[in-house]
A and B are shown apart, each in its own frame.
Chain A
């Protein structure tokens, strides 16, 4: 399977990748609940990350030769693309630091979290990535209407994820004893780690949502075309990056290690 320029096969590829990701996520979940095998979870997460980075974030485009001189839109898009990827690399260091913190403070234990809800928000984020991919593909073929519809679905799902984590999950976790009382995450490393990791991720989801709104609004004004839609591509890649981070954060918080109940 290679990257393709034909619209219907590009959409088909998006569906296929989505199916792979779904199967892997379900596999991940069942591996975690049936037997405790962190190494398998790591392998699954790496495979998922590679699929997202290659097919949804199309990292291979960094290698494309940009025709035209330095002032052409194509050449500048290549420059922008490199800048965006370096930014994501830089941002990845924050999340890597948070993972290191989680492993250092909690080791091979995990907090008592609502598994159903965790799986549900993960699924919602995965779905949103799927629709984002469809939206970008539509724009790349000049279909502004299709782009706007898909990005709207992505936005709603992203908002659902954000509210699910911040409004519901944080409250349930608090009731499980991750914090002493809501609004005061004062006790224990589990609360500190959980709220810091999900909070930092939620902040990125929020900025991603703003970004999605901006490109949706610009598409409404007819700013983008099949040839010139760097803003759309950037928003899509950023949105998939948010998903990419969650591919690692979800198992790190919900799946690995032995469950510890707090009193």
Chain B
């Protein structure tokens, strides 16, 4: 306990509270001096006070926890060593600032699991309310955090969306951070301090985001469209601000990945000999480091509209609400490719390992990741077919959206061809990879269906959309994320997770999810609206909703089994220090857990990465122990 209280995390949290008080005090004092009202009947303080409080809270957290201290030293002209001595052991490493990409990867993954669990919990709560028509426990009479039942439903529904999105972004960053430098043969990321800073931005960001629920919540959904978001309670400001912090985490993290891949690769690792997961990471990072600015901007503009009365999106003041949607979706559509591209990369990375065959069409797969990322920049308005934007925009956006199917199709052909006549090992990671392919296929083929304008106009804002995107996200992120965790867990810990529990996890989650998704699509086609707390019993959705709720709980149970397996195996798992998956990848050629500074000897790429089953072929060769460390090219 004492060790925790002296950690960077605890220090940051204390200072976040102090910063929040300072910010609130500052604005309240200024307002008092100007003769403006200083208190609010519901939330104690005024909205500007809360906003500055939360913002300063985040800044205080970051300046107090030590993630920026080296930069301050540089600014004063003091040099610091490239890497600091690590003096923390065990769990303490993860609550203190570390510059080691492996520690940061684990930190990201843990924060991601926390956010995903909270978001999932919210989903189970409102899913329970939806199990039958009429209001059962989220009733008009109940009150919690100044919200009645349906309002609380709206808040939890909105937060479920954003917590999952941020959880996914952090999860993606976790896997990329841990794995990419190992695959490249690098000691660390190109900018280790910025890497740590990116992670620590996520902690106050998550806290601010979650605090929205106690400050009146918000009822806008995760999209936060004005004019609704311009009128929602203070909670929506916390939502905007939290996402703003997490967005910067994503931007700087993505930048770091691209620079790392360009600048620090092992010898002879040219572009087309990089592992496919590296390609996927680059594609995803190009999106995060550029497009993310636009969601930050659109949220800022709404914040200023609320705080200063600037009417960007207020038609009464000459603003344009549709402009918000353009700015917002310019990020938020590519964002779904940020979620799925690393996942698809994991599928391509693991399939050859477990099918014991070369990856089919390596170059096509590499290029298709970039293709999806680039086409992803020009499809955003397909979210807005029903928004009242200019009609002539619809058709080009329909075609650009259909175009996404081409590079995605390339991936499917490659996967099928890789599995074809393979000698498949059905280990847990492989099960999740296969599950991902099936589920993502269902999500993928409903995409072009929805891209067709006439169909989309009919299905906009129904549960069909909900089913579609849960499909893509489960297939593109959740299943591959679990596959990656099962696969690289031994690398991080030197122990493996239980295969039996892993298989139970898979065999509960997969059928439950398929039921959930088909059920959602069914009632969506029949006219079930998304984001509403209640529905008419005469629609006949009651039985389907009950099944959906049961399926939702089963997924929750399977994830609980996973969490038990995950944390239990860290201590009690079977020892696994060798190359347990028989992989050709460089990180498996050295013992687990990975040593502090990665590879003692640098390696050189001497062959193709995925030539499984070809006798005598090799991907990497480690330098003899006497050769001095030498750089790339």
Binding site for B on A (CB under 8 A): 68-71, 75, 78-79, 82-83, 86-87, 89-91, 93-94, 97-98, 100-101, 104-105, 184-193, 195-196, 214, 217-218, 221, 223, 231
Q: A94-B297, A188-B311, A217-B77 are in contact. Are A70 and B262 (CB under 8 A)?
A: no
- Find out whether the CB atom of B258 lies under 8 angstroms from the CB atom of A86: yes
- Find out whether the CB atom of B327 lies under 8 angstroms from the CB atom of A101: yes
Verify if B259 is at the interface (C-beta below 8 Å from A). Answer: yes
A residues in contact with B290, CB < 8 Å: 89-90, 93
Verify if B538 is at the interface (C-beta below 8 Å from A). Answer: no
Kindly state the separation between the CA atoms of A100 and B323 in the bound complex, as whole angstroms.
Answer: 9
Closest 9 CB pairs of A and B: A186-B309, A189-B318, A192-B310, A93-B293, A70-B631, A218-B77, A69-B631, A97-B297, A223-B77
B residues in contact with A100, CB < 8 Å: 323, 326-327
Partner of A184, one of B191, B301, B309, B629: B309
Name A199's closest neighbour in chain B (CB-CB).
B304
Q: Convert B295-314 into 0s and 1s, putting 1 for each residue whose CB lies closer than 8 angstroms to a CB of A.
A: 01110010011001111100
- Find out whether the CB atom of B320 lies under 8 angstroms from the CB atom of A104: yes
* Selected A-B contacts with CB under 8 Å, 28 pairs: A69-B630, A79-B190, A79-B191, A79-B259, A79-B264, A86-B255, A86-B258, A90-B289, A93-B294, A97-B330, A101-B301, A104-B323, A105-B319, A105-B320, A105-B323, A186-B308, A186-B317, A187-B317, A188-B311, A188-B317, A190-B318, A192-B310, A192-B317, A192-B319, A193-B312, A218-B77, A221-B77, A231-B74
A residues in contact with B259, CB < 8 Å: 79, 82-83, 86
Kindly state the separation between the CA atoms of A91 and B292 in the bound complex, as whole angstroms.
Answer: 10
A187 to chain B, nearest CB (A): 7
- Find out whether the CB atom of B293 lies under 8 angstroms from the CB atom of A94: yes
Kindly state the separation between the CA atoms of A186 and B319 in the bound complex, as whole angstroms.
Answer: 12
- Interface residue ranges of B295-354 to A (CB < 8 Å): 296-298, 301, 304-305, 308-312, 317-320, 323, 326-327, 330
Kindly state the separation between the CA atoms of A16 and B165 in the bound complex, as whole angstroms.
Answer: 51
A residues in contact with B632, CB < 8 Å: 70
A residues in contact with B74, CB < 8 Å: 231
B74 to chain A, nearest CB (A): 8
Name A103's closest neighbour in chain B (CB-CB).
B323
B residues in contact with A94, CB < 8 Å: 293-294, 296-297
Q: Which of B256, B298, B318 has the most CB of A within 10 A?
A: B318
Other than the known A71-B82, A86-B289, A223-B77, what 19 A-B pairs have Cβ atoms closer than 8 Å? A69-B629, A79-B259, A82-B263, A83-B255, A86-B258, A89-B290, A97-B297, A100-B323, A104-B323, A185-B308, A186-B311, A186-B317, A187-B311, A187-B317, A188-B318, A192-B312, A193-B312, A195-B310, A196-B310
A139 to chain B, nearest CB (A): 14
- Find out whether the CB atom of B323 lies under 8 angstroms from the CB atom of A90: no
- Find out whether the CB atom of A186 lies under 8 angstroms from the CB atom of B630: no
Kindly state the separation between the CA atoms of A89 and B327 in the bound complex, as whole angstroms.
Answer: 17
Verify if B419 is at the interface (C-beta below 8 Å from A). Answer: no
Name B633's closest neighbour in chain A (CB-CB).
A65
Kindly state the separation between the CA atoms of A195 and B631 in the bound complex, as whole angstroms.
Answer: 49
Kindly state the separation between the CA atoms of A192 and B304 in the bound complex, as whole angstroms.
Answer: 9
Q: A69-B630, A221-B77 are in contact. Are A87 and B263 (CB under 8 A)?
A: no
- Find out whether the CB atom of A101 lies under 8 angstroms from the CB atom of B310: no
Kindly state the separation between the CA atoms of A179 and B204 in the bound complex, as whole angstroms.
Answer: 35
Name B82's closest neighbour in chain A (CB-CB).
A71
Partner of A97, one of B255, B289, B294, B317: B294
Verify if B483 is at the interface (C-beta below 8 Å from A). Answer: no
Kindly state the separation between the CA atoms of A104 and B258 in the bound complex, as whole angstroms.
Answer: 33
- Find out whether the CB atom of A185 lies under 8 angstroms from the CB atom of B631: no
A residues in contact with B625, CB < 8 Å: none
Q: Which of A78, A79, A90, A189 has the most CB of B within 10 A?
A: A90
Kindly state the separation between the CA atoms of A192 and B311 in the bound complex, as whole angstroms.
Answer: 6
Kindly state the separation between the CA atoms of A93 and B288 in the bound complex, as whole angstroms.
Answer: 12
Chain A binding surface, main DSSP class: helix
Kindly state the separation between the CA atoms of A69 and B264 in the bound complex, as whole angstroms.
Answer: 11
Q: Convert B619-633 into 0s and 1s, putting 1 for each residue whose CB lies closer than 8 angstroms to a CB of A.
A: 000000000011110
Partner of A82, one of B262, B311, B318, B326: B262
Kindly state the separation between the CA atoms of A79 and B304 in the bound complex, as whole angstroms.
Answer: 36
B residues in contact with A98, CB < 8 Å: 297
B residues in contact with A97, CB < 8 Å: 293-294, 297-298, 327, 330
Partner of A91, one of B264, B293, B327, B629: B293
Kindly state the separation between the CA atoms of A5 and B534 in the bound complex, as whole angstroms.
Answer: 72
Kindly state the separation between the CA atoms of A192 and B306 in the bound complex, as whole angstroms.
Answer: 12
- Find out whether the CB atom of A87 lies under 8 angstroms from the CB atom of B255: yes
Verify if B291 is at the interface (C-beta below 8 Å from A). Answer: yes
Kindly state the separation between the CA atoms of A185 and B194 in the bound complex, as whole angstroms.
Answer: 36
A residues in contact with B312, CB < 8 Å: 101, 105, 189, 192-193, 196
Verify if B251 is at the interface (C-beta below 8 Å from A). Answer: yes
B residues in contact with A192, CB < 8 Å: 305, 310-312, 317, 319
Partner of A186, one of B76, B194, B310, B631: B310
A residues in contact with B323, CB < 8 Å: 100-101, 104-105
Kindly state the separation between the CA atoms of A68 and B191 in the bound complex, as whole angstroms.
Answer: 19
B62 to chain A, nearest CB (A): 16
Q: Convert B255-277 into 0s and 1s, putting 1 for each residue whose CB lies closer than 8 angstroms to a CB of A.
A: 11011001110000000000000
Q: A97-B297, A189-B317, A196-B301 are in contact. Are A83 and B191 (CB under 8 A)?
A: yes
Name A101's closest neighbour in chain B (CB-CB).
B323
- Find out whether the CB atom of A89 lies under 8 angstroms from the CB atom of B319: no
Name A79's closest neighbour in chain B (CB-CB).
B263
Kindly state the separation between the CA atoms of A97 and B298 in the bound complex, as whole angstroms.
Answer: 9
A residues in contact with B310, CB < 8 Å: 185-186, 191-192, 195-196
Kindly state the separation between the CA atoms of A97 and B294 in the bound complex, as whole angstroms.
Answer: 7
B373 to chain A, nearest CB (A): 15
A residues in contact with B298, CB < 8 Å: 97
Kindly state the separation between the CA atoms of A14 and B190 in the bound complex, as whole angstroms.
Answer: 32
Verify if B75 is at the interface (C-beta below 8 Å from A). Answer: yes
- Find out whether the CB atom of B297 lies under 8 angstroms from the CB atom of A105: no
Kindly state the separation between the CA atoms of A217 and B75 in the bound complex, as whole angstroms.
Answer: 9
B residues in contact with A83, CB < 8 Å: 190-191, 194, 255-256, 259
B253 to chain A, nearest CB (A): 12
A residues in contact with B263, CB < 8 Å: 78-79, 82
Name B187's closest neighbour in chain A (CB-CB).
A70
- Find out whether the CB atom of A214 lies under 8 angstroms from the CB atom of B293: no
- Find out whether the CB atom of B301 lies under 8 angstroms from the CB atom of A93: no
Name B319's closest neighbour in chain A (CB-CB).
A189
- Find out whether the CB atom of A75 lies under 8 angstroms from the CB atom of B319: no
Kindly state the separation between the CA atoms of A232 and B309 in the bound complex, as whole angstroms.
Answer: 40
- Find out whether the CB atom of B319 lies under 8 angstroms from the CB atom of A90: no
Q: Which of B297, B327, B632 has the most CB of A within 10 A?
A: B297
